[in-house]
Amino acid sequence: AIVQETLKYIQQPTLGDFDKRLVKLSGINANYLHIVLGRKYLNEHQYAEAAEAFAKVAPQTWKEEPFATYLDSNPFYIKPDNGQNSEEIFTPATFAGQMAELEKKMKAGDAQAAYLLGCGAYNMGYWGNSWILSQRQWSSAEYQYMYSPRDLSGEDYYAATQAKTYFEKALQLTKNSEIAAKAAFGASMCERNAFALFQAAEGREVGYSENEQAAFTARMNTEARKRLSTYFGLLKNNYPTTQYTREVIEECSTYRDFIGQ
């Protein structure tokens, strides 16, 4: 609401002298505020609204920094190869529009659409390849060294909660074992995110002695097997012979550890 009111204010046809100086001093403009608004809608998974906001951003913006550097991967592509063109590039506007279309298809019962929604929601999160869609900055260890420390387990950007619900929906809708295997692995990555947050929180008070570190590592190894068992277990027990599961074995060391290979 604040962003929308600010947009109304700076876009008035007759700004007074004081207003003009205030806008200039703030350094904001409609282009920037529509990016802020679009990101806010994406973070709330309101894709049609995000697409509408991003459509009002000058197209040249997406060709400039930081988007030129940090939006250079297909946000629907997840390793191992999930059948999407890894080199296809989206702008925030085309991504949000695609997510809105996929949401409609999912509601009509399309399992593949639900899976791709999961990929898109995952990749615009902290561990995804296109985090800049939803945030303006990123740090490799921010979830570990966030000050003041806080519980991030309920924050979708880090925990990929919404992405997991989409992958679970794909599992419910599909009768295709390959799509099911992909969705199960996608959900397992969301579980892996949640485990990383848990591990970081638990490790904050662990000392640096060799014994303390060894005990913590052993405890986390046990916790990992429990916390990653749902969807790794589904892959192992229900879809062991799919092509995708074979690719997961080749690409994912965490899954290989889980199945003892």
The band of 150, judged by pLDDT with boundaries at 50, 70 and 90, is: confident
User: What's the rounded mean pLDDT across residues 196-221?
Assistant: 92
**Two structure tokens written together for 258:** 């889980």
In whole angstroms, give the CA distance from residue 65 to residue 256: 38
Evaluate if residue 103 carries a pLDDT over 90. yes
Share of the chain above pLDDT 90, in %: 90
Q: Indicate the pTM of the whole model.
A: 0.94
Which range has the worst mean pLDDT, 18-22, 93-97, 140-144, 194-198?
140-144
User: What's the rounded mean pLDDT across residues 184-197?
Assistant: 96
Residues 6+ apart with CB under 8 A from 49: 41
Neighbour tally for 18: CB within 10 Å: 8
Helices (H), the chain: 2-10, 17-26, 30-43, 47-54, 67-70, 92-107, 111-123, 156-159, 161-173, 177-202, 210-227, 229-238, 243-251, 253-259
In angstroms and rounded to an integer, the radius of gyration of the C-alpha atoms of the chain is: 21
Helices (H), 16-142: 17-26, 30-43, 47-54, 67-70, 92-107, 111-123
Residues 6+ apart with CB under 8 A from 251: 79, 80
Evaluate if residue 205 carries a pLDDT over 90. no
The band of 261, judged by pLDDT with boundaries at 50, 70 and 90, is: low
pLDDT value for 135:
97
pLDDT value for 156:
97
Evaluate if residue 141 carries a pLDDT over 90. no
**Two structure tokens written together for 211:** 């014994």
Evaluate if residue 148 carries a pLDDT over 90. no
In whole angstroms, give the CA distance from residue 39 to residue 28: 16
